[in-house]
Structure 1
């Protein structure tokens, strides 16, 4: 299934236009200066909040709600999210879900860092969005919690320089066996946590009644394992193969999201979810192009960056996303058009900021044209880069601070 979808979407990518994107928002210099003032004020608020929490200050719920209100104001006045989009992001239900997830994560493992929990939250929010468009009540189900939590653990192990390559290969094989249904005794605390999370999924979805759930989990595991070629076989893989590996990794991930949300999917839903995940992977790779290049990790973008401009590849990514979003017509949940507009606005900001951060990867004419779509001057963005931590983006920085404030409320 994954190979079939990979081939289909690779074909779609090749057919996508290389024409410049058509963004709805164009900003004049006076607009940018005004919005930069909003961002300056917002960063001052964030820095004060960070200093206070380093000093161990306790916050009242009123103070935390005021901070969350400041985040919402910035997203409205600084980044031009609409009232409807913000209501979707900051609804009482979403706040409740975030608090519930943070409480469950801390109860599951008190030693988890906030960054680990935030990484898990990001995946949970994607799955909440899928619940919305599928017409399923938004909540933290055992499988949503478990799947979202799996990847801080596995990523931390794979990224740990103190764990040998051989140990990582052994873990990968043991993890695959556990996903296949083999009962294994855990060898350490990390394996114990991972195996417990797989057990949560098994308790919600029986392997006999929902075999596709487990096929999808094996699919993302195999796609991630295959993606190691992008680091290990530099200069030995052709561009077409790099594209397919990246599409498979992203597509398999969100396809698994869908199965863990709904248990069963229609063919049309599977097709959209795979494409949606592939699109998100391409956007991640655009954001990370400089880091990937430095690490020797080949992606659609880092494989040729600084040798040829990425103008056409970024244009193709934009139109690829437009094609994917058309498939939302296969869903009958709530707020489909609002969800689509929220995704478009968020992705436009990610793409624009990615160009601002690494302008040398694009032609000068292209950078100049894209700066017109940015609410901030590109030079301003680069000067503020160190304050957009840890994910380097003004949108994700805002969302990260929101999640941290919510984690403090949930602990209260």
Structure 2
């Protein structure tokens, strides 16, 4: 990534050129790195890698528990500020991330809280039937988009395109991954949605602003194979209208729609990950790795385009790297469900081949710790340190994302003990800031989701 020109925009006249160059960049920033990494856990040579004794893990858990109790009990007293300052320092120490001033951490979480609450409110406003679980799944991407906003020193605000893109996740995934929908219907949807994303509606008018009210299902012109899915498809198309509110078609922001088309293609390609008993079809590990890298990277570069309209090659490279890592973390978290549905990921395929999860989990942790997390963009200037370091806002957020990613890997692995060798599981647990039997019960993302929505950090 060091030789990429940060000032060169990733822009092409045709989608075919965009797709070809994007796939080359994807491989260079994901699988090329993945294949080069050892399948053993990292050593302490990396200053972010920290091994813990059980005594240290127990002591940290007690400290976290005590200060969280104090924070709740004394929330409305004069001790509030002092206690939360201690909690913020404990946050940095637990995740092994650079120290920063309390005001920055509080402001960061308040910003995230406002964006999260607005996303939930507007999501329910558009679709009152959407479930808490669907909003939570979609909201995880909202957090990433917010983080990338900060990494690029952009003002953090919630936009129509953020709503549209993140609400696409529960709607399209349920349709594409559903085993009850025929292959014919999925193929028809793939063709129609590809056209809707890349070209737009025949009646598209850049002067028309979508008001956020659900469109009429009867206005859809769907083939017979998709009639049963009309209620879901109309919502999917409405999400594209939200995106069109922010990014006008036919101008300098065509990369937005090319990136959305790319993730749609990758999502449809992921259906090849479903092993079938009726015809003994099963994908190979090489196919699975390729699809995972393309899909993961595509989902994150699309988010980047929706935030800025245009991306440099360096930003694209960074997002491809991040996206593959997030995809693998998601796959490890969903391992039991994927096994039940015969969905092959790097992890379920490893088990299908009769091996433990030791090697891919170790390699994923190595991947999370790689140098791209420290990459700088040309506008990486604002400092948020506490005086002891010169860590910029972008650096802090990147390291925070890296260490949270490692923690999510550890949390997922802590619940999958029977799929690891005893020796590896014991060594893996030493990388955790808490004992595994505590970590597995926390549900980090859902706990943070709840705290942020409740403005706990205010």
TM-score (norm 2): 0.73
Match in the other structure for 2:404? 346
Cα distance in structure 1, aligned partners of 2:401 and 2:422: 28
Match in the other structure for 1:53? none
Q: Does residue 1:400 correspond to 2:400, yes or no?
A: no
User: Between Structure 1 and Structure 2, whose CA radius of gyration is higher?
Assistant: 2
Q: 2:413 aligns with which of 336, 355, 365?
A: 355
Matched residue SS, 2:369 = helix
Match in the other structure for 1:49? none
Cα distance in structure 2, aligned partners of 1:403 and 1:182: 36
Contact 1:2/1:248, CA 8 A, preserved across alignment: no
Inter-CA distance 106–42: structure 2 relative to 1 (3 Å threshold)? farther
Q: Does residue 1:135 correspond to 2:153, yes or no?
A: yes
Q: CA RMSD in A?
A: 3.5
Q: 2:433 aligns with which of 359, 363, 375?
A: 375
Cα distance in structure 2, aligned partners of 1:295 and 1:379: 27
Could you tell me which runs of 5 or more consecutive residues in structure 1 were left unpaired when the two chains were aligned. 46-60
User: Matches of residues 209-224 of structure 1 in structure 2 within 5 Å?
Assistant: 209=251, 210-224=253-267
Greater shift after overlay, 373-382 or 90-99? 373-382
Structure 1 position 308, deviation (Å): 1.4
Structure 1 position 259, deviation (Å): 0.6
Match in the other structure for 2:340? 294
Match in the other structure for 2:115? 97
TM-score (norm 1): 0.80
Q: 1:5 aligns with which of 15, 25, 36?
A: 25
User: Matches of residues 2-41 of structure 1 in structure 2 within 5 Å?
Assistant: 2-8=22-28, 9-22=30-43, 24-37=49-62
Contact 1:131/1:138, CA 8 A, preserved across alignment: yes
Inter-CA distance 10–28: structure 2 relative to 1 (3 Å threshold)? closer
Structure 1 position 215, deviation (Å): 0.7
Q: Does residue 1:156 correspond to 2:174, yes or no?
A: yes
Match in the other structure for 2:6? none
Cα distance in structure 2, aligned partners of 1:78 and 1:328: 20
Q: How many residues align?
A: 380
Inter-CA distance 155–73: structure 2 relative to 1 (3 Å threshold)? farther
Match in the other structure for 2:272? 229
Inter-CA distance 340–2: structure 2 relative to 1 (3 Å threshold)? same
Structure 1 position 146, deviation (Å): 1.1
Q: 2:325 aligns with which of 258, 279, 303?
A: 279
Inter-CA distance 74–305: structure 2 relative to 1 (3 Å threshold)? farther
Matched residue SS, 1:228 = helix
Match in the other structure for 2:206? none
Matched residue SS, 1:285 = helix
Cα distance in structure 2, aligned partners of 1:75 and 1:309: 37
Inter-CA distance 271–380: structure 2 relative to 1 (3 Å threshold)? closer
Cα distance in structure 1, aligned partners of 2:101 and 2:32: 32
Match in the other structure for 1:52? none
Cα distance in structure 2, aligned partners of 1:75 and 1:229: 46
Cα distance in structure 1, aligned partners of 2:170 and 2:198: 20
Cα distance in structure 1, aligned partners of 2:180 and 2:66: 41
Could you tell me which runs of 5 or more consecutive residues in structure 2 were left unpaired when the two chains were aligned. 1-20, 203-218, 223-229, 383-392
Match in the other structure for 1:58? none
Contact 1:275/1:324, CA 8 A, preserved across alignment: no
Match in the other structure for 2:365? 318
Structure 1 position 343, deviation (Å): 1.5
